[in-house]
Amino acid sequence: MRILLVEDDEDVARFVRRGLSEQAYAVDVATNGESALELSELTTYDAIVLDVMIPAPDGIEVCRAIRTAGSTVPILMLTARGSVDDKIAGLDAGADDYLAKPFDFGELLARLRALLRRGGATIDASLRVGTLEIDTRSHGVAIDERPLVLTTKEYAVLEYLARNAGRIVGREELAEHVWNEEFDPFTNVIEVYINRLRRHIEKVSDRKLIRTVRGAGYMLEIDEEPAHE
């Protein structure tokens, strides 16, 4: 899942970005309204975390402009201004939820998960594809009930493929949702992570879950557990 974080306070931006990255989100950061609008036009984000008090245009104007452009991306507004009138202004501008500073990071994560569900993403506590089981809260992964130990990025790649199991996921789509704006499209980093995942899987199972579709991308096959006689 790829998130746009719009926050001009360096300390807050660093804290939130680090926390979201540890939860396997890919995070781009904008520090003002102009760059936020530019990034939102160039990239398909799964959600936007938007501070109200940013250099012009402010968060309210940014939110309104995104909605005017026809985007339905879930938007969570952050602000130190927690009055009812401020919340009404944010929601009327098109925000989906509102979180006042200071906030508990756990609450931010919970609200973000709720918005992603509302936006159509499948954010269940657990995800099962055949004999592959993923705990989306703890990031625990097992195949045939045997655990896999993955890095954060390996987990993010596998989770995205699992959410789209049975469908070919193109290289560009995978990069757009799992990596941030620092991704270099001319590297073979995606292939590297796919190969790492295959090696992890081979250590615990003889199932070939990730298939390369030449010229198209990758597909996590829905490999059902064999029936017992």
How crowded is residue 150: how many other Cβ atoms within 10 Å of its Cβ? Answer: 20
| Residue-wise DSSP of 146-171 | EEE---HHHHHHHHHHHHTTTS-B-H
Q: What per-residue confidence (pLDDT) applies to 194? A: 96
Task: Judge whether 90 lies within some domain.
Answer: yes
What is the reported pTM?
0.78
Whether residue 143 lies inside any domain: the answer is: yes
C-alpha–C-alpha distance, residues 13 and 189, integer Å: 26
Give Cβ neighbours of residue 124 (< 8 Å, ≥ 6 apart). Answer: 136
In whole angstroms, what is the distance from residue 147 CA to residue 142 CA?
4
Q: Are 29 and 45 within one domain?
A: yes
State residue 126's pLDDT score. 78
Judge whether 74 and 118 are in contact, CB under 8 Å. yes
155 and 114 in one domain?
no
Domain range for 205 is 126-220
Question: What mean pLDDT, rounded, does the chain reach?
Answer: 89
Residue 190 in tokens: 């995606």
Question: Is residue 71 located within the same domain as residue 174?
Answer: no
Among 118, 141, 169, where does a domain finish?
118
- How do residues 155-164 score in pLDDT, each as one tens digit? 999 999 998 9
Phi, psi of 133 (to 5 degrees): -125, 130
Q: pLDDT digits over 155-191, tens only?
A: 999 999 998 999 999 999 999 889 988 888 889 999 9
**Strand spans (E) along 9-59:** 26-30, 47-51
From 227, 229, 222, 196, select the one nearest 207 (Cα to Cα): 222
Considering the domain architecture, whether residues 142 and 43 belong to the same structural domain is answered as no
pLDDT at 227 over 50: no
| Residues 105, 115 contacting (CB under 8 angstroms) | no
CATH number of 109's domain: 3.40.50.2300
The per-residue pLDDT for range 43-74, each reduced to its tens digit, is 989 999 999 999 999 999 999 999 999 999 99
φ and ψ at residue 150, rounded to 5 degrees: -120, 155
Q: What percent of the chain has pLDDT over 90?
A: 71
Between strands 47-51 and 2-6, the pairing is parallel
- Radius of gyration of the chain measured on its C-alpha atoms: 19
The amino acid sitting at 187 is: T
Instruction: For residue 12, give the H/E element and its range.
Output: helix 10-22
Question: Last residue of a domain, which of 118, 136, 155?
Answer: 118
Which of 118, 139, 158 is at the close of a domain?
118
Look at residue 226 and tell me if it is in a domain: no
